[in-house]
Amino acid sequence: MPLDLDLGTAAGHRLLLLSLERWDGWADLRFARVDTGTGERLARRVPPASQWRVRVDGNPVEVIDAVGRGDRAFSNGEVRLVPPPPAGCTLTVEVLLTAGTPPLTATLVLPG
C-alpha cells in the first residue's frame, strides 16, 4: 500500500516512507533517504535496524532487518517488520538518522 509520507529532515537528510508491503508473517516498510545538499556525511547509507522503532496501536513491532542500496546522496531500502501491521491500525515510525539529532517520527492510520 502506498504511504507517501515525509518524516522530515535531520542533519540535511530527508526521509520518506514510500509504501508498506504485507507478506505472510512479516511486512516491508519501504523508504527513501535524500541528501538535501546540506547534509553531513552519514556513517551508513541506510539507518540500521537498531535505529528504527515501530509501534502498532501503541505496541512495539519487531524490526528484524533494514537493508538498502544507493550512495551518500540517495538511498532506498526496506525495513522488515514482524508481525505485519494490520489494516486500520495506527502506525508510528521513528528513525534516528544521525547521532546527536532528534529522531524523525510520524504517525498514520493505515487504510482499512
The pTM of this model reads: 0.90
Q: Return the pLDDT at 32.
A: 95
Q: What is the pLDDT of residue 92?
A: 97
Give the domain extent around 90: 2-109
Structural domains counted in the chain: 1
Q: Strands, DSSP E only, in the chain?
A: 2-10, 13-22, 27-35, 52-56, 59-70, 74-82, 90-95, 104-109
CATH of the domain at 94: 2.60.40.1640
Residues of the chain where predicted confidence (pLDDT) is lower than 50: none
- Please tell me the predicted confidence (pLDDT) of residue 43: 66
